[in-house]
Amino acid sequence: MSQNGAPDFAELLRSARHTAVHLELRDIYDVGDETGSFDRFLRTGAVDLDPESAQWQGWTPLVREAIGRGVVMRRARIVSTPVTDYIRYEHAMTPVNVAIGEQVRWLPRDRASDIALPGNDLWLIDDRLVLFHFFTGVGDWAGHEFTEDPAVVKLCASAFETVWERGTAHGEFTV
Protein backbone atom coordinates (compact mmCIF):
# COMPACT_ATOMS: atom_id res chain seq x y z
CA MET A 1 0.00 0.00 0.00
CA SER A 2 1.08 3.56 -0.61
CA GLN A 3 1.27 6.03 2.26
CA ASN A 4 -2.30 7.27 1.73
CA GLY A 5 -3.74 3.75 1.95
CA ALA A 6 -4.38 3.45 -1.79
CA PRO A 7 -2.77 0.55 -3.62
CA ASP A 8 0.66 1.10 -5.14
CA PHE A 9 0.87 0.72 -8.90
CA ALA A 10 1.93 -2.94 -8.87
CA GLU A 11 -1.02 -3.79 -6.60
CA LEU A 12 -3.33 -1.77 -8.82
CA LEU A 13 -2.25 -3.61 -11.95
CA ARG A 14 -2.48 -6.94 -10.14
CA SER A 15 -6.09 -6.08 -9.27
CA ALA A 16 -7.02 -5.79 -12.97
CA ARG A 17 -9.18 -8.63 -14.22
CA HIS A 18 -10.09 -7.53 -17.74
CA THR A 19 -8.49 -4.28 -18.88
CA ALA A 20 -5.77 -1.82 -17.99
CA VAL A 21 -5.54 1.21 -20.24
CA HIS A 22 -3.07 4.07 -20.10
CA LEU A 23 -3.62 7.50 -21.62
CA GLU A 24 -0.54 9.68 -22.03
CA LEU A 25 -1.01 13.35 -22.85
CA ARG A 26 2.40 14.99 -22.42
CA ASP A 27 5.16 15.66 -24.94
CA ILE A 28 7.92 15.76 -22.34
CA TYR A 29 8.53 13.65 -19.27
CA ASP A 30 11.56 14.10 -17.06
CA VAL A 31 11.23 11.35 -14.52
CA GLY A 32 14.40 10.49 -12.68
CA ASP A 33 14.54 6.77 -13.47
CA GLU A 34 14.75 7.52 -17.20
CA THR A 35 17.38 10.27 -17.10
CA GLY A 36 20.39 8.09 -17.97
CA SER A 37 18.60 6.20 -20.71
CA PHE A 38 17.20 9.39 -22.24
CA ASP A 39 20.59 11.14 -22.12
CA ARG A 40 22.15 8.12 -23.86
CA PHE A 41 19.45 8.26 -26.54
CA LEU A 42 20.13 11.96 -27.15
CA ARG A 43 23.86 11.26 -27.51
CA THR A 44 23.73 8.04 -29.53
CA GLY A 45 20.18 7.37 -30.73
CA ALA A 46 20.40 3.99 -28.95
CA VAL A 47 17.79 2.55 -26.58
CA ASP A 48 17.60 -0.64 -24.54
CA LEU A 49 15.26 -3.00 -26.39
CA ASP A 50 15.94 -6.03 -24.19
CA PRO A 51 12.82 -6.66 -22.07
CA GLU A 52 14.97 -8.79 -19.74
CA SER A 53 17.46 -5.99 -18.99
CA ALA A 54 17.68 -4.20 -15.66
CA GLN A 55 16.05 -1.11 -17.19
CA TRP A 56 12.84 -3.02 -17.87
CA GLN A 57 12.68 -5.24 -14.78
CA GLY A 58 10.23 -2.99 -12.98
CA TRP A 59 7.79 -3.21 -15.89
CA THR A 60 8.20 -6.43 -17.86
CA PRO A 61 7.13 -8.85 -15.08
CA LEU A 62 4.06 -6.76 -14.19
CA VAL A 63 2.84 -6.67 -17.78
CA ARG A 64 3.52 -10.33 -18.43
CA GLU A 65 1.71 -11.29 -15.23
CA ALA A 66 -1.35 -9.18 -16.13
CA ILE A 67 -1.50 -10.43 -19.71
CA GLY A 68 -1.04 -13.97 -18.46
CA ARG A 69 -4.23 -13.51 -16.43
CA GLY A 70 -6.06 -12.42 -19.58
CA VAL A 71 -5.88 -8.65 -18.96
CA VAL A 72 -5.85 -6.60 -22.16
CA MET A 73 -3.35 -3.76 -21.81
CA ARG A 74 -3.64 -0.79 -24.14
CA ARG A 75 -1.65 2.43 -24.16
CA ALA A 76 -2.63 5.52 -26.16
CA ARG A 77 -0.37 8.52 -26.57
CA ILE A 78 -1.45 11.94 -27.79
CA VAL A 79 1.58 13.75 -29.21
CA SER A 80 2.36 17.08 -30.81
CA THR A 81 3.92 17.01 -34.25
CA PRO A 82 6.65 17.38 -35.06
CA VAL A 83 7.46 15.32 -32.00
CA THR A 84 9.80 16.27 -29.17
CA ASP A 85 13.06 14.45 -28.50
CA TYR A 86 11.37 12.72 -25.60
CA ILE A 87 8.61 11.35 -27.84
CA ARG A 88 11.23 10.14 -30.32
CA TYR A 89 12.88 8.33 -27.39
CA GLU A 90 9.57 6.90 -26.20
CA HIS A 91 8.72 5.76 -29.74
CA ALA A 92 12.12 4.07 -30.07
CA MET A 93 11.54 2.13 -26.84
CA THR A 94 7.93 1.13 -27.54
CA PRO A 95 8.86 -2.13 -29.33
CA VAL A 96 9.54 -3.52 -25.85
CA ASN A 97 6.02 -2.59 -24.69
CA VAL A 98 4.60 -4.31 -27.76
CA ALA A 99 6.87 -7.36 -27.44
CA ILE A 100 5.70 -8.04 -23.89
CA GLY A 101 2.03 -7.77 -24.83
CA GLU A 102 0.89 -4.15 -24.63
CA GLN A 103 -1.04 -2.67 -27.52
CA VAL A 104 0.10 0.88 -28.30
CA ARG A 105 -1.40 3.59 -30.48
CA TRP A 106 -0.36 7.16 -31.21
CA LEU A 107 -2.60 10.11 -32.02
CA PRO A 108 -1.28 13.44 -33.33
CA ARG A 109 -2.57 16.22 -31.09
CA ASP A 110 -4.23 18.06 -33.98
CA ARG A 111 -6.57 15.07 -34.42
CA ALA A 112 -7.67 15.27 -30.76
CA SER A 113 -9.06 18.82 -30.66
CA ASP A 114 -12.70 17.74 -30.42
CA ILE A 115 -12.19 15.04 -27.76
CA ALA A 116 -13.20 15.78 -24.17
CA LEU A 117 -9.95 14.79 -22.44
CA PRO A 118 -9.09 14.55 -18.76
CA GLY A 119 -6.48 17.03 -17.61
CA ASN A 120 -3.86 14.45 -16.65
CA ASP A 121 -2.29 11.19 -17.74
CA LEU A 122 -4.14 8.21 -16.34
CA TRP A 123 -4.52 4.51 -15.90
CA LEU A 124 -8.04 3.08 -16.03
CA ILE A 125 -8.47 -0.36 -14.52
CA ASP A 126 -11.47 -2.50 -15.50
CA ASP A 127 -13.60 0.61 -16.19
CA ARG A 128 -13.90 1.01 -12.41
CA LEU A 129 -10.89 2.88 -11.05
CA VAL A 130 -8.79 5.74 -12.39
CA LEU A 131 -5.26 6.54 -11.31
CA PHE A 132 -4.28 10.06 -12.38
CA HIS A 133 -0.57 10.87 -12.66
CA PHE A 134 0.49 14.45 -11.98
CA PHE A 135 3.66 15.99 -13.40
CA THR A 136 5.42 19.30 -12.97
CA GLY A 137 5.64 21.71 -15.89
CA VAL A 138 9.01 20.23 -16.87
CA GLY A 139 7.72 16.66 -16.64
CA ASP A 140 8.90 15.35 -13.27
CA TRP A 141 6.61 13.32 -11.00
CA ALA A 142 4.32 15.47 -8.87
CA GLY A 143 1.99 12.86 -7.38
CA HIS A 144 -1.08 10.83 -8.17
CA GLU A 145 -4.73 10.43 -7.21
CA PHE A 146 -7.16 7.52 -7.32
CA THR A 147 -10.87 7.83 -7.97
CA GLU A 148 -13.79 5.51 -8.51
CA ASP A 149 -16.23 8.35 -9.13
CA PRO A 150 -18.54 6.99 -11.85
CA ALA A 151 -18.64 10.29 -13.76
CA VAL A 152 -14.84 10.54 -13.83
CA VAL A 153 -14.49 6.88 -14.83
CA LYS A 154 -17.01 7.43 -17.64
CA LEU A 155 -15.17 10.53 -18.94
CA CYS A 156 -11.82 8.73 -18.87
CA ALA A 157 -13.17 5.60 -20.56
CA SER A 158 -14.86 7.64 -23.28
CA ALA A 159 -11.76 9.76 -23.88
CA PHE A 160 -9.51 6.72 -24.05
CA GLU A 161 -11.76 4.84 -26.46
CA THR A 162 -12.04 7.85 -28.78
CA VAL A 163 -8.28 8.34 -28.78
CA TRP A 164 -7.81 4.61 -29.37
CA GLU A 165 -10.21 4.56 -32.32
CA ARG A 166 -8.44 7.51 -33.98
CA GLY A 167 -4.94 6.41 -33.11
CA THR A 168 -2.39 4.72 -35.31
CA ALA A 169 -0.86 1.41 -34.24
CA HIS A 170 2.74 1.71 -33.11
CA GLY A 171 4.11 -0.27 -36.05
CA GLU A 172 2.51 2.14 -38.49
CA PHE A 173 3.29 5.41 -36.70
CA THR A 174 6.47 7.19 -37.69
CA VAL A 175 8.19 10.06 -35.90
Which pLDDT tens digit goes with each residue over 74-108? 999 999 999 999 999 999 999 999 999 999 999 99
Query: Which helix (H) or strand (E) is 157 found in, with range?
Result: helix 150-166
Calpha distance 50→94 (Å, rounded): 11
- The stretch 157-171 carries a mean pLDDT of 98
- pTM score, whole prediction: 0.94
Cα(14)–Cα(65) distance, rounded to whole angstroms?
8
Is 70 exceeded by the pLDDT of residue 151?
yes
Structure confidence at residue 29 (pLDDT):
93
User: 124-156 burial string, b = 16+ CB within 10 Å, else e?
Assistant: bbeeebbbbbebeeebeeeebebeeeeebbeeb
* pLDDT tens per residue across span 102-133: 999 999 999 999 999 999 999 999 999 999 99
Tens of pLDDT, residues 16-58: 999 999 999 999 998 877 889 999 999 999 999 999 999 999 9
- Nearest Cα to 102, choosing from 68, 51, 63, 55? 63
Q: According to the model, what pLDDT value does residue 32 have?
A: 77
pLDDT confidence of residue 25: 98
